[in-house]
Structure 1
């Protein structure tokens, strides 16, 4: 009888553990510009384009000092406002680098990213998908209409090629599918993304000038068909004049069925 009780207790513990895992939340924190932190239901941490110390984030230095656990650093392309604080974060946390092969090589050779934290298992290219963090996360490499160069710390005279710009489609086990557009213009092949995987959350650049503005971003939302769109890459500098309000108006005019979530810098969104 005692043995049976122990077996039942173990079974109950297993069932409760599975249910708690399945019911966990994914946390999405915005640091301004294109910088996000994603925490999975099991507590794994990814940061995307981690320029935490961007001019719009007054708490950036404090955020950076407190960021002590990161498993993966995802960088869409080589421009300084997306590489951001990645090397400092990598050296502090031993985070692996997720980029295209070309950008990874440039960051190691010219940017000081620890070579031992970069490998074929975390590098990919457009059209490919990799599985990481014990298969809890799948990351697909999505194209972007943009440029990608890496500027060494020595200045603009030391610009290095870093492959093609891109975005990421991040699928989290027992969590959402998140599309980070990176810096891009609208392109018609965005319509192919939901044919392969339903997008729950789209992190969409709207700033204009260097990326698509609100009008073109609204059309991108129409193609991708996410449940939620979070505008990003706006307002960091006056030149990035696209606004969430303009995006909301464009989406309303186009009669697109989507929830627009305008996040405050430092805010965290919990998603079941």
Structure 2
């Protein structure tokens, strides 16, 4: 079992073997996360799926304060280094690395990845985490892709974190198909409601998953789930 904390949009943290792992920090610009104080967020690692502002906005602030190691594409690694964040670990699609909490495999995400200043952010990525405490997949921002069928070869998943907001990423129907591809019935939804383009009907979304004998968790910013 792992502890999952949601901070709004696609920002969340997972605690594994006592390590606090933060993903895609976008909190201060998000009105839905107005009650989250980023100065209180602890992080040993920060994983960035891609370079868009709604995934990196608070990275420099949190990494600078906590000293967390930032794992990201090579291009984002250079961008961060140029802004004084030097505790970074660059990776790219297909690569795998053993960290002190477990191993991480970088997998395909079908999206774009420009940085806030307009520079190139490298390939968008998803991540498959394997550890003694459990395994999970974070797809990052992505379309439904047949590459997801490879994920079960890397890990039997306890849960998956998938975008469900549509328009910029997968919507509900494609997220259900993604869950089939990755062979995981426990899905935590992200990348929804933050902007007008990605607002969803929570009740309808939950029913669509339950009709397929799957569970969709839609958390409130600040909510924690043991899963």
Task: Please tell me the TM-score bracket, short chain as reference.
Answer: over 0.9
Aligned twin of 2:90: 123
Unmatched 5+ stretches in structure 2:
none
Aligned twin of 2:50: 77
- Runs of 4+ with >6 A deviation: none
2:120 aligned with 1:161, yes or no?
yes
Change (3 A) 1:102 1:198: same
TM-score w.r.t. structure 2 length? Answer: 0.93
Aligned twin of 1:3: none
Aligned twin of 2:85: 114
Alpha-carbon distance in 2 for matches of 1:238, 1:177:
33
Cα distance, 1:29 vs structure 2: 0.1
Unmatched 5+ stretches in structure 1:
1-24, 153-158
Cα distance, 1:244 vs structure 2: 3.7
Alignment of 1:209-228 (within 5 A): 209-228=167-186
Q: Deviation digits for residues 188-215 of structure 1, max 9, x if unmatched?
A: 1211111221111111101111111111
**Aligned Cα RMSD in Å?**
1.6
Q: Deviation digits for residues 74-118 of structure 1, max 9, x if unmatched?
A: 000000000121101111111111012122112322xx2512x02
Q: Deviation digits for residues 189-242 of structure 1, max 9, x if unmatched?
A: 211111221111111101111111111111111111114101111001121133
Higher helix share: 1
Change (3 A) 1:113 1:201: farther
Alignment of 1:32-71 (within 5 A): 32-40=8-16, 42-53=17-28, 54-60=30-36, 62=37, 64-67=38-41, 69-71=42-44
Alpha-carbon distance in 2 for matches of 1:227, 1:210:
23
Residue pair 2:138, 2:161 contacting (<8 A) in 1 also:
yes
TM-score w.r.t. structure 1 length? Answer: 0.78
Computing the radius of gyration from Cα coordinates, the structure with the larger value is: 1
Cα distance, 1:184 vs structure 2: 0.5
Change (3 A) 1:52 1:176: farther
